[in-house]
Structure 1
């Protein structure tokens, strides 16, 4: 996106920014929640996973696990508002990585459905892209302008063109 080094967001973490430094998440059986406010030039990226690192079986998505995800999502949204983002102006994009493997579609769908419902309750439209592939993805959000790009981790080749919600 730019010549600036990315700020990498670890799983179960998030970052909010106002400048041109891209926020990035390396997705492996995970979801990136990208939120941007066009009117304030602020955006953030939340990195949630549903498969523990080095494991082949998904996390047990119990009520406790999903509650933890909701608490982190609430904190992320609160911090966005603290940075000046106005909820009614948010553009929400979800990018999910679903590795090929038995039994991984359902946990991904559960987490994506939870995220869609959360933002629907707040009357915010959600754009969602799911990538079914073995290889990791890199999702980048340019927080000031709201551009999101997705590329394969190894090749760095775009899988989805950069887009900006209108």
Structure 2
């Protein structure tokens, strides 16, 4: 039996991607967060990748109305498109992972965004399965929606492994 290699798709910051077939969605988290959405029965899912705070103001621990309204618009679009892509799915779940720069007060901001996301998900009937805020080096997050599998590793570990392969 041979292991098949799954296609990968990068999700840039302030965007989302819907998985309509089995693939790995990935994002590099650096002062940003990822919301991984999937249905535990069907194979659909999505990865939403967003900046924590406004560019240039990431160190400000206050969540502004602009930040929240931007997050809400993108969240609404992602959830609507996800539900439209798989109308039979009824068991939506989510995983939240964030990276913050602790030296600049980013952890408080990330925790504020996490609270906002938790309340939003509860309002739309999606269960939050796990949440984590990391403050070390930036992360490479890989998410396979069809299986609900999530993996995070430091970017330097990914780079070192690629150098060993080539």
Normalising TM by the smaller chain, what interval? 0.7 to 0.9
Root-mean-square deviation (CA, aligned residues, Å) is: 2.5
Do the aligned residues in 1 keep the contact of 2:38 with 2:94 (CA within 8 Å)? yes
Give 2:37's match in structure 1, choosing from 19, 35, 38.
35
Aligned to 1:75: 77
State the distance in 1 between where 2:121 and 2:133 align: 17
Q: Higher mean Cα deviation, 74-83 or 123-132?
A: 123-132
Aligned residue number for residue 118 of structure 1: 120
Give the unaligned 5+ runs of structure 2: 160-166
TM-score, normalisation: structure 2:
0.82
Look up the match of 2:162. none
Q: 1:90 Cα shift?
A: 0.5
Give the structure 1 partner of residue 152 of structure 2. Answer: 150
Mark the CA change 1:139 to 1:58 in structure 2 (over 3 Å): closer, same or farther.
Answer: farther
Matches within 5 A, 1:1-166: 3-51=5-53, 57-58=59-60, 61-84=63-86, 88-126=90-128, 127-133=130-136, 135-156=137-158
**SS of alignment partner, residue 40 of structure 1:** coil
Question: Which one has the largest radius of gyration?
Answer: 2
Secondary structure of residue in 1 paired with 2:12:
coil
Structure 1: state its 5+ residue gaps.
Answer: 158-166
Instruction: Check whether the contact 1:29–1:96 (CA below 8 A) recurs between aligned residues.
Output: yes
Distance 1:6 1:106, change over 3 A: same
User: TM-score, normalization: structure 1?
Assistant: 0.82
Identify the structure with the greater helix proportion: 2
Does structure 2 conserve the Cα–Cα contact (< 8 Å) formed by 1:41 and 1:145? yes
